[in-house]
Every structure is written in C-alpha cells, then in structure tokens.
Amino acid sequence: MPELPEVETTKRGIAPHIMQQRIENIIVRQNQLRWPIPTEIKKKLLNETITDVERRAKYLLIKTTKTTIIIHLGMSGTLRILEKQVKTKKHDHFDLVFADKLLRFNDPRRFGSILLAKNEELNQHPLLLHLGLEPLSKEFNGQYLWHCAQKKRVVIKSLLMDHHIVVGIGNIYAAEALFAARIYPASAVNVLTLQQFNLLARSVKTILKKAIEKGGTTLKDFMNSEGKPGYFANQLKVYGRAGLPCLNCKAILQSMIVNQRNTVFCPKCQPFIR
DNA sequence: CAGAATACCTGCGGGC
DNA sequence: TGCCCGCAGGTATTCT
C-alpha cells in the first residue's frame, strides 16, 4: 500500500489530532510486527507529550520531548484517529491513547514496524541512516539521478525504487513516473540521456505531488486517518492497466517482471532502446 | 561488492 | 462451496 503519498496523507491526517496531546496509555495487542515493538515502550512514552509529527521516506516520526516513535506502515498498515470507545477489529495491533482520542495501528500482513529512538540519536538510527534524497526536495533532480546512474549497472526502474538513492517511490509510482517520462522500465541506466533523467525527475515530483493532493492511492485497503480512501487510483495511467489501451496512444499496455515485480508499460510510448 | 533472490505475513480472487 | 495456487502496494537479509 503505502508509498510516499500515502504516508504523507497519513501524517497530515493524524498530526492535528495528536500534536501537544499527552499519551495517557499505550496498548500493545500484538508485538510481533516486522520487528517486535520495544518492550520498554510504555516506560519511555507514558505521560509524554507529542511535540512533532514528521515524515522521512516512508517512515512516520512521532516525536516527544525525549523519544521519537518510528512507524513504518509496511504493505498493509494504516493509522487511524478514533474515539476511545471504538471497538477493536482484527489486526488492530497497537494504540496510543490520548485524552479523548486514540491513534490505532492496524496491519494485516504485519510488515509494518513500530520502533523507538532517542531524539539525539534519531539521525543515526540504522533504518534512517542510509536513506537517499527526498524526491520532493530541491536536491533531487535529473542531474543527481544521472550522477547516481553512472556508478550503477541496473535498470532504471530499480534505480528509481532504490531508497539508498531516492526514497518513497514504490511499484505504483515508479511505473507511473516512467510512463510519464516515456522511458522503458527495463532500460539500462547507462543508455539514458541527461535529458531523460531531467524529465524523469520532474515526472516523479509531479506525480507524487498530485497523488498527495488526492490523498494517495487506494487499490484495496489504504485508508487515511479518517478511514477514507485516497482518490489517485483513478488517475493511474499504467499501473493495473495491462491489456487495456494506452490513454496516450491507444496501444495495448503490456506488463513484464522487473525486480520480481509486475511492471506495466506502453510499448509505443516507452520504446525499448539499446 | 553489487545486484539478485529470499523471507517475513495475511487476504483475496481465480481456477478447478 | 471449498480448497489450492498465485499474487499483492515494502525492504532487510541472505545468496551468488
């Protein structure tokens, strides 16, 4: 589910409800997520006040005076703001309880994670330390991508999804950005021109921004903090449309496996070049 | 060492 | 109806 726009949507949804709120209780129903929820979480966070809510890559960073909660939604995680009396459902693994609301983490596949870091050590946290650029930052541009490509012998879709290089782009937005930039997903990075990298970087930014405006993409189960879907799915031009006509040229969209993942593209708009 | 494959989970749709 | 298979938006870890 969640790529950068979905995590950003979640962040914007929860922040106003939890900022400056004191944590009155913490409930862990299932601590076997991708990594176990730290056993000391209650000791570290009880009665602390939320001072900040940030996003880095696909990680949500919920800060208190001393400790930051690092949350990753994995493939199927959602965070919702709920009234305290709302009954739990299957896969509701974790609650942060405030004065009159609670923040509830639900994650059927349990690929998500909830971890802690001391504020002063946050930047050194192993999960955050080696992350690449934020795609919406000024530093992320065609020149940067081109520069990264010179050291690599991979295909362009892998480069886009490599979070050591640029963060937040998953299978959906990689496919969409490559279509927008008219680049064949399995192109070796060394055959692409600087001009193509420029267009690709611009496409990434445009698509992510639009997706954030629409509240993210809901294919199956993404929900924002109010339990509502995002509306970018109906703007997807290639993802999930294999066998249907290209919205640009009417050629039949094809799919192939790149990096173990299904990848849809237009054979005419994104021609194979070698 | 870079790049590719694997593993971690549950749920769902399709085929039989 | 029900069982089995394959696949799903992520990414650290293990393999080659």
Could you report the per-residue pLDDT of A72-130, keeping only the tens digit for each? 999 999 999 999 999 999 999 999 999 999 999 999 999 999 999 999 999 999 999 99
A120-136 in b/e form (b: 16+ CB < 10 A) is eebeebeebeebbbbbe
Distances (CA, A) of A128 to A55, A115, A158: 11, 12, 20
Which distant-in-sequence residues (6+ apart) come within 8 Å of A234 by Cβ?
A: none
- CA atoms in the 13 A half-sphere facing the CB of A66: 7
pLDDT score of A221: 79
- A135: tokens are 């795609």
pLDDT band at A227 (very low <50, low <70, confident <90, very high): confident
Which distant-in-sequence residues (6+ apart) come within 8 Å of A272 by Cβ?
A: A184, A186, A187
- A232: tokens are 């970018």
- Is A261 labeled as catalytic in the residue annotation? yes
CA distance A101 to A16: 12
Amino acid at A152: K
Distance from residue A220 (CA) to nucleotide C8 (C1'), in Å? 9
What pTM value is reported for the model? Answer: 0.96
Which of A109, A205, A209, A261 does the annotation list as catalytic?
Answer: A261
- Nucleic strand C contacts from chain A, 1-30, CB < 7 Å: 1-3, 6
- Nucleic strand C contacts from chain A, 177-216, CB < 7 Å: none
CA distance A216 to A18: 21
> Is the CB atom of residue A75 positioned under 7 angstroms from any atom of strand C?
yes
- Is A58 labeled as catalytic in the residue annotation? yes
Amino acid at A232: F
DSSP string covering A208-238, please? HHHHHHTT-B-SSS---TTS---B-GGG-SS
- A217: tokens are 């993409």
- A78: tokens are 């959602």
Quick check: A175 and A264 in contact, CB under 8 A?
Answer: yes
pLDDT score of A274: 67
Q: What percent of chain A has pLDDT over 90?
A: 93
Check pLDDT > 70 for residue A1.
no
A221-234 in b/e form (b: 16+ CB < 10 A) is ebbbbeeebbebbe
